[in-house]
Structure 1
Amino acid sequence: MSALPDLAPLWLTLRLAALVTALLLLLGTPLAWWLARSRARLVPLVEALTALPLVLPPTVLGFYLLLAFNPQAPLGASWLALTGQTLTFSFAGLVLASLLYSLPFTVQPLQAAFSALGPAPLETAASLGARPFDAFLTVALPLSLRGYLTAAVLTFAHTLGEFGVVLMVGGNIPGETRLISIAIYEQVERADYPAAHALSALLVALSFAVLLALYAVNRRAGRPA
């Protein structure tokens, strides 16, 4: 047994978390904007679907994603025909699964930030001749930066600790799908507690540092000038 664990799962986890965070900030923005501003009857339904990963056991979500990613299923078959690779037991599959699993951690903070804006800033921008997209970029986006920071940090931190979903979809392939949470579980199964402790301590320290930075920045931004 070794107290010096393989750090490859940590780097793979960081890569996954960074990619998922960037994609969700991009894809989650229009969804959060619509949820914050629309009065359509479908809004509660979409909100419930978006929040579903918060209450579903990760293994349940992972099971249905495993079925959807199977090469015999329409989604899995389409991906296989397009790329020549399967979604199951692949890094691409982990990315897609993580996008769904971490979706509420991006959308909900952004939706709250957009809702807090109120109509006045955008109405003022429109009265000055700004088009809707220009008003979003020049007015709504800068005023919602704290919401974006919160969404980015929560999404990143949540993706770091994924276990059930990624294990069901990706398995435990070194260098491809073996994330740090899976590596910790494997070390515990082997009774290699020093290695499990070292990896766990790294994950705790990293998660704490990310959250500490978020709260420090938000507290500083909330102080009067």
Structure 2
Amino acid sequence: MLDQDFIYTLLLTGKLALITTSILIIIGIPVAYWLSYSRFKLKFIAETLISMPMVLPPTVMGYYLLVAFSPENAFGDFLQKYCDVRLAFSFQGIVIASIIANLPFMIQPLQNGFSALNDDLRQASYTMGKSKIVTLFKVLIPNIKKSVITGIALTFAHCIGEFGIVIMVGGNIPKETRIA
């Protein structure tokens, strides 16, 4: 017979991965689109910041997020005083930390998919009077379906396997932040 705490831990892990992946789909598509088609001169800074979680050790990132989320710090104190939110050692905190840690795993496949598309598709849609939003959802996303699936799979799998950042930010509180 499986232990109830173990089952709850597995369910919490799945919940974290589903929430993180869902939020990153919503964030990732517009950010990847912007990174692919923008001519902003300092775009490389955004790309560098997005890629940072891939090269930083998770425990280091987790430590700095824990420091930022702590009520002893200005950001954590502001959140607690004015928003009545405490991110350190909470499920909301590990969701935010997980979103930050998994950002490159969603955005990079999407950005590569957008960049690989022939720009004639986008231009033809605009020529036919379609807006950027319609072009994005009706023309571009269907043509990068494999990149979307790859981003979802990578994000979900990395979120399930990520331990360092979650243990640093969330601790190991049973039925609240203990994940598998």
Bin of the TM-score, shorter chain as denominator length: over 0.9
With normalisation by structure 1, the TM-score equals 0.75
Deviates more, 1:48-57 or 1:11-20: 48-57
Identity, % of aligned positions: 43
Q: How does 1:40-119 map to 2 (within 5 A)?
A: 40-119=40-119
Task: Name the structure 2 match of 1:21.
Answer: 21
State the Cα distance separating 1:85 from its structure 2 match: 3.8
With normalisation by structure 2, the TM-score equals 0.93
Aligned CA RMSD, in angstroms, stands at 1.4
1:144 and 2:144 matched: yes
Separation (CA, whole Å) in 2 of partners of 1:126 and 1:161: 42
* Residue identity opposite 1:103 in structure 2: L
1:165 and 2:159 matched: no
* Residue identity opposite 2:102 in structure 1: S
Separation (CA, whole Å) in 1 of partners of 2:84 and 2:30: 31
Separation (CA, whole Å) in 1 of partners of 2:74 and 2:136: 37
Task: Name the structure 1 match of 2:38.
Answer: 38
Separation (CA, whole Å) in 2 of partners of 1:178 and 1:83: 25
State the Cα distance separating 1:127 from its structure 2 match: 1.2
Separation (CA, whole Å) in 2 of partners of 1:105 and 1:162: 12
Separation (CA, whole Å) in 2 of partners of 1:82 and 1:91: 19
Aligned residues: 178
State the Cα distance separating 1:82 from its structure 2 match: 4.8
Task: Name the structure 2 match of 1:179.
Answer: 179
Separation (CA, whole Å) in 1 of partners of 2:150 and 2:10: 23
Separation (CA, whole Å) in 1 of partners of 2:104 and 2:173: 28
Task: Name the structure 1 match of 2:120.
Answer: 120
Runs of 4+ in 1 over 4 A off after TM superposition: none
Which has the higher relative contact order, 1 or 2, with Cα contacts under 8 A spaced 6 or more apart? 2
Question: Which ranges in structure 1 are unaligned for 5 or more consecutive residues?
Answer: 181-225
Separation (CA, whole Å) in 2 of partners of 1:177 and 1:147: 31
* Residue identity opposite 1:134 in structure 2: V
Separation (CA, whole Å) in 1 of partners of 2:75 and 2:141: 34
State the Cα distance separating 1:144 from its structure 2 match: 1.5
Task: Name the structure 2 match of 1:135.
Answer: 135
State the Cα distance separating 1:81 from its structure 2 match: 3.1
Deviates more, 1:110-119 or 1:99-108: 110-119
Separation (CA, whole Å) in 2 of partners of 1:18 and 1:38: 30
Separation (CA, whole Å) in 2 of partners of 1:117 and 1:65: 36
Question: Which ranges in structure 2 are unaligned for 5 or more consecutive residues?
Answer: none
